[in-house]
Amino acid sequence: MSDPKDFDVIVIGAGPAGLCCAKGLAQSGLRVALVERQPQAALADPAFDGREIALTHRSLQILRGLSVWQRIAAGDVSPIKRADVSTGTSPKRLRFDHRDTACAALGYLVPNHAIRRAAYEAAAEEPAISLFAGQEVASVRTDRDAVTVRSGGGQAWRAALLVAADSRFSDTRRGVGIAADMVDFGKCMLVCRMQHERAHDETARECFFEHCTVASLPLNGNESSLVVTVTAAEGRRLQDMEPADFSADIEAKFQARLGSMRLSSTRHVYPLVATFARRFVGPRFALVGDAAVGMHPVTAHGFNLGLRSQDTLAESLRRAAARGGDIGAADGLLRYESLHRRHARPLYLATNAIVRLYTDPRPLAALVRRAALEVADRFAPFKHAALAALTEANRLGH
């Protein structure tokens, strides 16, 4: 067993949130060990996974500051200028339009794998980051002055602070004894890309039916990212269908709103489980990204919230470092937890409430859904508040 290598911070998990966190901490002058179970080749050239991330304006600002946004190709960025929410076959709609804001778009869609690649490139150029890929964490030990992490391969790292960014099912979170509240929605999400006959007009569409939810996110050209929320059995059936049969099935689900449709990518299925850690920090330990809060994707806050978490933590650590203090001390970590919990908890609860209401098959729920859409579309204060949450244009800066 080798002696531990010394760093200021150890980050476990090199997904987008972990990579951005490592980059932000390194920009603050901290030496970072980034530990990831995947091989380096998978980080440098991540595969298409079907997911498109809707970025808010605040997230764009954070990504620019990390030199991530500048590395994303213009062809991978698709603006969302309008959003249309409906339920069943009801003609009632809740509509949002960027012209009701001061923004050129409500948000911007970027493929998840493009964000991952750009974040890896930004982290890889940072001399203060040491990447240890292909390493499975075997143990974590914390004492009064430091935290020590050991891998199954015999490597070891020691630092003043450990940050877990290893998914909503975080092994590290569980390993240090932090529980998480979990909501299993009993559904899965099938995602893919589809070409279609009619223009999408840069409009995101989401329709809640009794047994499924279908959404289309506008990509460049006459192509959209498709998101279908169904049972696991139905998800497997859709994934295994012949492409022509699948395209016809989806076209029918969209009631031909986009004309004829054709599958243009691989299909991917993900379980829908939301998580909320009961604590975001512990002794010399912090959670960021999905390890802290794993959101249902219906309100598109997941990665934006994760990006904000690492930004908030980095700012707290910068303050401690500027004072010459201990970056793993409890006061700075508790400040981070307070700020992130205050922002994340209402979003998490509201998102889960929306999912429950709009997937409830009872007739009374259907009436409430239709009434809620009509009232919300006509109630200007609600729409203004919703637009502010969607764009985060009013939350720029700290």
The pLDDT value given to residue 211: 78
Domain assignment of residue 45, given as a range: 5-78+110-181+274-359
Torsion of CA 236, 240, 241, 244, to 10 degrees: 130
User: Which residue did the predictor score with more confidence, 31 or 253?
Assistant: 31
Residue 121 has pLDDT above 90, yes or no: yes
Query: Is residue 308 in some structural domain?
Result: yes
The pLDDT value given to residue 134: 96
Residue given tokens 């040491």 in the structure block: 130
Residue pair 14/71 in contact (Cβ under 8 Å)? The answer is no
pLDDT tens track for 181-205 = 999 999 999 999 999 999 999 999 9
Instruction: Name the band, by pLDDT with cuts 50, 70 and 90, for residue 394.
Output: low
Pick the closest to residue 115 from 61, 72, 65, 60 (CA basis).
72
Give burial (CB, 10 Å; 0-12/13-18/19+) of 274.
buried
CATH of the domain at 44: 3.50.50.60
Pick the closest to residue 253 from 222, 220, 224 (CA basis).
224
Q: Transcribe 138-198 into DSSP letters.
A: EEEEE-SS-EEEEETTS-EEEESEEEE-S-TT-HHHHHTT--EEEEEEEEEEEEEEEEESS
Query: Is residue 155 in some structural domain?
Result: yes
What is the model's pTM?
Answer: 0.92
Q: How much helix, strand and coil, in percent to the nearest 5, is found in the chain?
A: 40, 30, 30
Residue 27 has pLDDT above 60, yes or no: yes
Q: CB-hemisphere CA count at 13 Å for 381?
A: 0
The pLDDT value given to residue 110: 97
Residue pair 332/316 in contact (Cβ under 8 Å)? The answer is yes
Q: What's the number of domains the chain is made of? A: 1
pLDDT tens track for 66-119 = 999 999 999 999 999 999 888 776 667 788 889 888 888 999 999 999 999 999
The pLDDT value given to residue 210: 72
Q: CB-hemisphere CA count at 13 Å for 207?
A: 16
Residue 396 has pLDDT above 70, yes or no: no
pLDDT tens track for 282-312 = 999 999 999 999 998 877 788 999 999 999 9
Query: Is residue 293 in some structural domain?
Result: yes
Q: Is 117 helix (H, G, I), strand (E, B) or coil?
A: helix
User: Which residue did the predictor score with more confidence, 391 or 290?
Assistant: 290
Alpha-helical segments (H) within 192-270: 232-240, 243-253
The pLDDT value given to residue 373: 64
Pick the closest to residue 36 from 160, 157, 179, 182 (CA basis).
157
Query: Is residue 104 in some structural domain?
Result: no
Query: Is residue 42 in some structural domain?
Result: yes
Angle at 187 between CA 184 and CA 193, to 5 degrees: 130
Beta strand pairing call for 32-35 and 9-12: parallel
Query: Is residue 332 in some structural domain?
Result: yes
Residue 146 has pLDDT above 70, yes or no: yes
Pick the closest to residue 390 from 133, 155, 97, 110 (CA basis).
97
Angle at 41 between CA 36 and CA 46, to 5 degrees: 85
| Tokens (6 digits) for 68 | 């991530």
Query: Is residue 53 in some structural domain?
Result: yes
Pick the closest to residue 359 from 254, 190, 270, 231 (CA basis).
231
Query: Is residue 268 in some structural domain?
Result: no
pLDDT mean over 49-70: 96
The pLDDT value given to residue 248: 95
Q: Looking at residue 393, what DSSP letter applies? A: G
Beta strand pairing call for 129-132 and 32-35: parallel
- 365, containing H or E segment: helix 363-378
Mean pLDDT taken over the chain: 90
- What is the C-alpha to C-alpha distance for residues 358 and 367, in angstroms, rounded to an integer? 11
pLDDT mean over 245-271: 93
The pLDDT value given to residue 350: 86
The pLDDT value given to residue 85: 85
pLDDT > 90 fraction of the chain, expressed in percent and rounded: 72
Q: How far apart are the first and last CA of the chain?
A: 43
